[in-house]
Amino acid sequence: MADRPITPWAMVYERLHAHFGAQDWWPAQSPFEVMVGAILTQNTAWRNVERAIGALRAADALSVFAILGMAEADLAQLIRPAGYFRVKAKRLRALCAFLAAQGVAADPGQLGRGQDPAALRQNLLVVHGVGEETADAILLYALDAAVPVVDAYTRRIGERLALLPEKASYREIQSAIAAEIPAEAAVLNELHALLVQLGKEYCRPRPRCELCPLRSLCPYAYP
């Protein structure tokens, strides 16, 4: 983000990038695997998602056709390590049915090609089990759309840094970031990954401010 005026969120990006380095998200081998991961990661740790995706891969079931062609109960057993497996099996099948209806079952990375990301977002939000965070993760990490992803880490860190209005909605947080960060998928991809890393290592519920690369910017650390 060189040669741009430095905004508070851009400063956060620069500091985190200097501290942690490139995160190279999303850890997946295809856009469809990103989409599957975005559903499976709801309310669970990533290591559990990896086990579930590994089971899908081992069963040769990591495709829209395979998931739609198997019984929901069998799918649920395969993704059991991700938790809430019956709920998530239903959600995965709903997503796959959506992809098939959009004509991209064979190549889900083509979803919404040439379509306005805002319109595609609205369509995704209608799919059973796809909320704002999941829709935006699919847009950014599977489809390279320049859309900020907001999660619990983003909210916690933004609130502690006093960069968000009190009790901000998802859309308000997204707008606050979009106003200060270039609308480039690569930058937004990296920002979200860096915030997750910060949230895991330092900005935990009980924060480790003394070690945090943002401490000199943070009113929570220096009230």
Query: Which residues make up the interface to ligand SF4 (CB under 6 A)?
Result: 157, 160-161, 202-203, 207-209, 212, 214-215, 218, 220-221
CA distance 33 to 25: 13
Asked if 73 contacts 44 with a C-beta cutoff of 8 angstroms, the reply is no
**8 versus 83: smaller Cβ distance to ligand SF4:** 8
**21 versus 54: smaller Cβ distance to ligand SF4:** 21
To ligand SF4, the closest distance from the beta carbon of 50 in angstroms equals: 26
Asked if 23 contacts 221 with a C-beta cutoff of 8 angstroms, the reply is no
My answer on whether omega of the bond before 25 falls inside 30° of 0, hence cis, is no
To ligand SF4, the closest distance from the beta carbon of 2 in angstroms equals: 24
**134 versus 154: smaller Cβ distance to ligand SF4:** 154
**124 versus 193: smaller Cβ distance to ligand SF4:** 193
CA distance 174 to 135: 13
- Of 202, 109, 129, the residue nearest 161 (C-alpha): 202
Asked if 128 contacts 91 with a C-beta cutoff of 8 angstroms, the reply is yes
Q: Which two tokens stand for residue 70?
A: 């198997």
**128 versus 208: smaller Cβ distance to ligand SF4:** 208
**64 versus 203: smaller Cβ distance to ligand SF4:** 203
| Alpha-carbon distances, residue 48 vs 61, 196, 204, 223 (angstroms) | 17, 17, 20, 37
Asked if 17 contacts 11 with a C-beta cutoff of 8 angstroms, the reply is no
Q: Which two tokens stand for residue 49?
A: 């998602």
Query: What amino acid is encoded at 117 in this protein?
Result: P
Contacts of 216 by beta carbon, 8 Å cutoff, 6+ apart: none
